[in-house]
A and B are shown apart, each in its own frame.
Chain A
Amino acid sequence: MTATAPARERVLMEGSEALARAAIVAGCRFFAGYPMTPFTEVLEHFAKLLPDAGGVCINAESELEAVGMTWGALSTGARAACGSTGQGLSLMQESFSEITLAELPLVVFNMARGQQDYYQATRGGGHGDYRHIVLAPQDVSEGVELVQLAFHLADKWRNPALLYGDYLLAHTQEAITIEPMSFPELPAKDWAVDGSLSGSGGSRAVTPLGVGKVGQKALGQEGKAQYIATKLPLMEREVRVETGYLDDAETVIVAFGSPAKFVKYAIRQLRAAGHRIGYVRPITLWPFPYSTIAEAAAGPNVRRIGSFELCAGQMIDDVRIGAAGRAPVEFIGGVSTDQSGFGVGRILDAEVIAERLLALHEEREQPPIPGYDVNSYALQPHQAEATR
């Protein structure tokens, strides 16, 4: 199996490798990154595979330079990506904002430590009005598809796309094939720079600013910001979502990513025992499937909605917006990681999840999460009163 030729036979490989191979099959020829757990192996696999595919992988001196190098590669019209975990993406945020303004088709890999980067991914940690298309695979097979979709959507809209993964996705080994997907044709990248129009009077500028070359039409700073803002609602048609068991559901659970696969398993068990629980699994975190949530919340038997996330509760905001008061929304997840802080924790256990789903369904108090002390912060006397 070579880097560029897809694997038609099933091969056991870890998620990091599968994602890198899928990117190369999608035409990615440049990657830059900085080692950080649990993303490091993605960088390793790109470093190993890209040269054979005629591409370049650079170990940048920091995440900031990694996104900068990718910016340069994208400007030449190449398919290019960078990645890290949430902390590393924090360093890249200014560039993310500006790359979006420059309309470059960046693909970003977040191998996140849990699900607490939801706000960072969907609201954007950078300045300005912008959104990235965010795709959250539930497992390696879906990851292979969504990576290819990410490159297509990024080029289709000339807007960055982010793949939200995690420790499980990166390090789980699955027997998979890397099937190339086919997508509708896209226009040529005549905005890309290669030097050929230098000196012609019609040279090009790839820029986040509202001005290009003198004599060419310019939007201006305000116009540029408005232009990007008016693109946002148009991209909402790329929403993708999976639902199950909603027809007769009394309780609807919303979950994304690797945890969602565990949640679905728990739901199947509970349904077999007669409990009418359904689910909505956003595949795109942005655009978020608000209308699917709204429909689910309006189900004839729906009494409650639960947001299951491995964090203190971020996606729940979007669930509440979608539900728009049709049914109460409760948070049934929790901060959960392992000792190192890189991986997933004890909530991600089918039995623990089933307990929490059932507690919601039967309108009981949420059971304590193993190893999770909800009172670990003690309110101090000087904090007891709100300051006026």
Chain B
Amino acid sequence: MTTTDLPLGPVIDTSSAPTSGARRVEQQKPDLLLTQEHHMCPGCGEPIAVRQFLETITQLDAVDRAIAVAGIGCYTSFSGTMDVDLVQALHGRAPSVATGVKRMLPDALVFTLQGDGDMVNEGLQEVIHTAARGEKITCILLNNGVFGETGGHMTATTVLGQRTKNSIDGRDAEYHGYPILIGDLIAQLQGAAYVARGSVHNAGAVARTQKMFKRAFESQIAGAGFSFVEVLTMCPTGWFIPTPEGPDYMTETLGEVHIMGELKVDGKVRTTEELHAENIHKQREVDDALARGGLHT
């Protein structure tokens, strides 16, 4: 149960919008979502990420050429609620399908929506070759370190020590092997133009992730090559923790290994030291901005 050192003052009526003297700075849901309703668990990070890339497509004025290719995972239900022309692919197979779409429609904004089980387990070959060929699509990875939809099993991105249904005593290097840091792997490939890893564990991270989506889509529109945005998301159900502990669990486990930041920009791969330094600096920046009253650009 959360506590607060408030209340100071009465609870404010938040059932309806102010009728005058105020302007709206943030919509309740993105334009490109047909309904706010979804079946994701309380505290799931995936809808947080979905909101950001959908709003980015609207901001970039790329709506009427946006085509999504969805993989299979919890997020698959967004195939039905995103107001985007969409092709549903099989587990792991979205990059090849997206390749076919983009080759036939070079002016479309084509992106995949995949989870870590989908992309890094089943479909590792697909995403690597698609990136190496420099296909001008954007692959979006929602990485929570587990197979969420089937109940919380280990994937190739699960970190050492992380407890899942089939690494119940914690992932052990000797028995289970090491995680694959897919963003870092992709950044090494020449065909990859922009590679970033975001996160949704707090508002600042969400805001940074939004910028990553923008730069990734811009890179596709400019024809620079393959773009990739990995987003670390909370899965309290798959992690077997209470929802409020999701963000801390993530920063303490996945976030320690899969480092947040822009991994490759303008063809240059960033080092882990650069990323660490940048993360400290940027988190301070957004915390200050939020305290001052907003991140609105």
Contact = CB atoms under 8 A, between A and B. Distances in A.
B104 A72 contact: yes
Interface string A315-327: 0000000000000
10 contacts: A29-B104, A30-B103, A60-B96, A68-B90, A68-B95, A72-B104, A76-B101, A193-B86, A195-B64, A203-B84
Nearest to B82: A203
Contacts of B101: 72-73, 75-76, 193
A207 interface: yes
Size category, B interface: 35 or more
A318 B18 CA distance: 74
Contact of A193 (B34, B80, B85): B85
A58 B100 CA distance: 9
A182 interface: no
B130 to A, nearest CB: 8
A56 B101 CA distance: 11
A212 to B, nearest CB: 7
Interface in A76-98: 76, 78, 80, 94-95, 98
Contact of A201 (B34, B67, B87, B96): B34
Contacts of B90: 68, 94-95, 98
B272 interface: no
Contacts of A61: 125-126, 129
Contacts of A314: none
Contact of A65 (B66, B69, B84, B125): B125
Contacts of A195: 64-67, 84-85, 105, 108-109
Contacts of A207: 79, 86-88
Nearest 4 pairs between A and B by C-beta? A72-B100, A68-B96, A207-B88, A193-B85
B81 A214 contact: yes
Contacts of B89: 68, 71
A201 B31 CA distance: 10
Interface in B88-140: 88-90, 93, 95-105, 108-109, 125-126, 129
B35 interface: yes
Contact of B34 (A73, A197, A206, A215): A215
Interface in B16-46: 31-32, 34-35
B100 A80 contact: yes
Nearest to B132: A61
A206 B100 CA distance: 14
B80 A72 contact: no
B83 interface: yes
A198 B129 CA distance: 28
Interface string B49-73: 0000000001000011111010000
Contacts of B104: 29-30, 56, 72-73, 76, 78, 80
A76 B106 CA distance: 11
A250 to B, nearest CB: 52
Contacts of B69: 72
A64 B80 contact: no
B71 to A, nearest CB: 11
Given A195-B109, A203-B83, A214 B100 contact: no
B129 A65 contact: yes
Interface string A190-216: 000111111111011111110111110
Nearest to B96: A68
Contacts of A73: 100-101, 103-104
Contact of B99 (A58, A62, A200): A58
A22 interface: no
A198 B79 CA distance: 12
A355 to B, nearest CB: 49
Nearest to B101: A72
B35 A214 contact: yes
Contacts of B83: 198-201, 203, 213
Contacts of B84: 195, 198-199, 203
Given A194-B67, A213-B80, A199 B32 contact: yes
A69 B100 contact: yes
Given A65-B129, A72-B69, A213-B34, A197 B100 contact: no
A197 B101 CA distance: 15
A71 B32 contact: no
Contacts of B125: 61-62, 64-65
